[in-house]
């Protein structure tokens, strides 16, 4: 056995150990009762497209946050967008103050970022904290207070969360995407070294937003969160990730949609932070090589193969148990949901969803064209994005 084989196996187990410890660390003290020491005025900004049962539920939840002083600025592409009618109806009902901004169709860049640029103009001088979120999530009543608490009580300039996907259908494809996503959620994040903003849950002090000149980074861009990350990093501002800032994100995808989603995420990462894409490729690809080598050794009757496979299975079980604990702690209501398939895929089909993850990473090396929310784009660079085609939604 050459030196390369044990080296790969050792690296694989090291990755397993770090991932397992990180998932275990994530569960410490959950759920924590985080209450901000004070409640400054907050402006919550969200770009919305189309109307669905999910966007209606999202808007209802967002307008019923357990926070005394906040308002919502929603940005849509046009008055013809079904989301505009939804927002108009919602504004007449009880709940947090809701203002709607019409951005118009984008000509250079991504439509979501263009909508957010229009919403920035609605920020007021009295808005002390600006929060960005996505309309395909389900914010718990205490979500906004948790984000504000991380800024106010800990004295941070910016904090971010991430999505926890839950399948809403009975397809393995959706469960595979959710399991792959969960493996990202519990990865270690080091604010001063490596961390990324996620546009679905990012809070920034208004003066920080002005100092980093986020509008300059968003012009012509397609990724709001990766460009926010670049702006904060350029200004020397660390990005913190409170463990309770996660958001539930219901999904339902067939295999085509699943691969398109995964490849888009890593295509954007490759464009904006290529070294992080390379790191993701290595830390995802090496375990696959290690597992194949271990199986090969085990078939030859070598103890090293059986031992590393057993270790990997044990660490995988520990991560599975910790991820279930996270979901139980943060979202007790999910106990009433039918997530049996999701948890079985997470637990027993790790080779499948791990391989899916790796294929999506490699898929980013393909075309610079991508489709997002019904629009085809050509992504030449972080701020050189061309709109190729707008697809009409089915009647």
Q: Which parts of the chain are beta strand (E)?
A: 42-47, 70-76, 97-102, 129-134, 158-160, 163-167, 201-205, 247-251, 369-372, 375-381, 384-390
Whether 196 contacts 232, CB under 8 Å? no
Give the dihedral sign, CA 218/73/160/283. negative
Q: What is the mean pLDDT of the chain?
A: 93
Q: What is the 3-state secondary structure (H, E, C) of 34-100?
A: CCCCCCCCEEEEEECCCCCHHHHHHHHHHCCCCCCCEEEEEEECCCCCHHHHHHHHHHCCCCCEEEE
Cis-peptide into 333, omega within 30 deg: no
Residue 196 lies in a domain: yes
| Tens digit of each residue's pLDDT (9 = 90 or more) over 187-236 | 877 665 668 999 999 999 999 999 999 999 999 999 999 999 999 999 99
> Quick one: 131 and 55 in the same domain?
yes
If you average pLDDT over residues 60-76, what whole number do you get? 96
| Tens digit of each residue's pLDDT (9 = 90 or more) over 235-269 | 999 898 888 889 999 999 999 999 999 999 999 99
Cα–Cα–Cα angle for 265, 353, 244, rounded to 5 degrees: 65
Q: Quote the CA–CA distance of 19 and 315 in Å, as a whole number.
A: 9
* Residues facing residue 46 across a β-bridge: 74, 133
- Cα–Cα distance list, 365 to 163, 269, 281 (Å): 25, 11, 11
> Quick one: 38 and 141 in the same domain?
yes
Task: Dig out the tokens for 248 from the structure.
Answer: 């539930």
Q: Which of 260, 269, 251, 270 is nearest to 371 (CA)?
A: 260
246 Cβ contact list (under 8 Å, min separation 6): 161, 162, 163, 164, 185, 201, 326, 330
Whether 326 contacts 245, CB under 8 Å? no
Give the dihedral sign, CA 243/248/249/253. positive
Is the model's pLDDT at 80 over the cut of 80?
yes
Is the model's pLDDT at 301 over the cut of 50?
yes
> Quick one: 116 and 190 in the same domain?
yes
> Quick one: 213 and 189 in the same domain?
yes
The alpha carbon of 137 is separated from its chain's Cα centroid by a whole number of angstroms, namely: 10
> Quick one: 16 and 48 in the same domain?
no
Number of structural domains in the chain: 2
Is the model's pLDDT at 53 over the cut of 50?
yes
DSSP letters spanning 246-280: -EEEEE---HHHHHHHHHHHHHHHHHH-HHHHHHH
Whether 204 contacts 130, CB under 8 Å? yes
| Tens digit of each residue's pLDDT (9 = 90 or more) over 159-188 | 999 999 999 998 999 999 999 999 999 887
Task: Dig out the tokens for 296 from the structure.
Answer: 């090969």
Q: Which of 308, 268, 248 is nearest to 9 (CA)?
A: 308
If you average pLDDT over residues 4-20, what whole number do you get? 94
Residue 144 lies in a domain: yes
Taking residue 9's Cβ as centre, other Cβ atoms within 10 Å add up to 25
pTM (2 d.p.)? 0.93
> Quick one: 201 and 54 in the same domain?
yes
Is the model's pLDDT at 1 over the cut of 70?
no
Is the model's pLDDT at 300 over the cut of 90?
yes
| 327 sits in which H/E element | helix 303-330
pLDDT of residue 191: 62
Residue 242 lies in a domain: yes
> Quick one: 249 and 296 in the same domain?
no
> Quick one: 44 and 101 in the same domain?
yes
Domain boundary among 258, 287, 304: 258
| 185 sits in which H/E element | helix 172-185
Pick 273 or 155 by higher pLDDT.
Answer: 273
CATH of the domain at 64: 3.90.550.10
Q: Quote the CA–CA distance of 115 and 101 in Å, as a whole number.
A: 8
pLDDT of residue 303: 94
> Quick one: 99 and 245 in the same domain?
yes
If pLDDT is split at 50, 70 and 90, which confidence band does 395 have? Answer: very low
Residue 82 lies in a domain: yes
Lowest mean pLDDT among 20-29, 42-51, 290-299: 20-29
> Quick one: 179 and 236 in the same domain?
yes
- β-bridge pairing 375-381 and 369-372: antiparallel
Looking at the chain, the whole-number percentage of residues with pLDDT higher than 70 is 96
Q: Quote the CA–CA distance of 77 and 104 in Å, as a whole number.
A: 5
Q: Which of 215, 120, 200, 124 is nearest to 159 (CA)?
A: 200
pLDDT of residue 271: 96
pLDDT of residue 33: 67
Residue 86 lies in a domain: yes
Residue 387 lies in a domain: no
If pLDDT is split at 50, 70 and 90, which confidence band does 378 have? Answer: very high
Residue 394 lies in a domain: no
Domain that holds residue 227: 33-258
Residue 101 lies in a domain: yes
Is the model's pLDDT at 86 over the cut of 90?
yes
pLDDT of residue 344: 96
Q: Which residues of 182-206 are buried (b: 16+ CB within 10 A; e: fewer)?
A: bbebbeebeeeeebbbbbbbbbbbb
3-state secondary structure of 386: strand
> Quick one: 63 and 130 in the same domain?
yes
> Quick one: 247 and 159 in the same domain?
yes
């Amino acid at each position: 056995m050459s030196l390369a084989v044990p080296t790969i196996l050792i690296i694989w187990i090291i990755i397993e150990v770090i991932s397992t410890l990180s998932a275990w660390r994530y569960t410490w003290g959950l759920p924590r009762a985080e209450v901000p020491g004070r409640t400054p005025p907050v402006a919550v900004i969200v770009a919305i497209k189309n109307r669905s049962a999910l966007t209606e539920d999202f808007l209802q939840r967002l307008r019923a946050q357990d926070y005394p002083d906040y308002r919502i600025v929603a940005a849509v592409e046009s008055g013809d967008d079904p989301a505009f009618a939804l927002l108009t109806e919602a504004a007449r009902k009880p709940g947090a103050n809701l203002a709607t901004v019409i951005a118009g169709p984008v000509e250079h860049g991504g439509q979501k970022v263009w909508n957010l640029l229009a919403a920035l103009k609605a920020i007021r001088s009295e808005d002390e904290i600006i929060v960005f979120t996505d309309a395909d999530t389900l914010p718990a009543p205490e979500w906004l207070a948790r984000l504000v608490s991380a800024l106010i009580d800990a004295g941070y300039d910016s904090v971010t969360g991430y999505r926890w996907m839950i399948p809403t259908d009975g397809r393995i494809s959706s469960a595979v995407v959710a399991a792959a996503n969960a493996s990202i959620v519990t990865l270690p994040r080091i604010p001063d070294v490596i961390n990324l903003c996620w546009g679905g849950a990012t809070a920034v002090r208004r003066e920080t937003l002005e100092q980093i000149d986020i509008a300059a980074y968003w012009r012509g861009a397609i990724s709001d969160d990766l460009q926010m990350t670049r702006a904060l990093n350029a200004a020397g501002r660390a990005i913190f990730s409170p463990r309770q800032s996660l958001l539930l994100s219901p999904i339902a995808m067939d295999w085509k949609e699943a691969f398109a989603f995964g490849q888009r995420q890593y295509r954007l990462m490759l464009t904006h932070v290529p070294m992080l894409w390379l790191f993701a490729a290595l830390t995802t690809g090496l375990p696959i090589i290690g597992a194949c080598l271990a199986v090969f050794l085990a078939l030859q009757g070598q103890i090293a193969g059986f031992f590393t496979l057993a270790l990997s299975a044990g660490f995988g079980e520990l991560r599975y148990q910790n991820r279930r604990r996270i979901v139980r702690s943060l979202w007790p209501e999910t106990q009433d949901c039918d997530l049996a398939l999701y948890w079985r895929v997470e637990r027993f089909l790790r080779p499948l969803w791990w391989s899916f993850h790796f294929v999506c990473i490699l898929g980013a090396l393909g075309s610079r064209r991508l489709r997002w929310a019904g629009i085809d784009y050509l992504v030449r660079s972080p701020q050189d994005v061309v709109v190729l085609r707008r697809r009409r939604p089915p009647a």
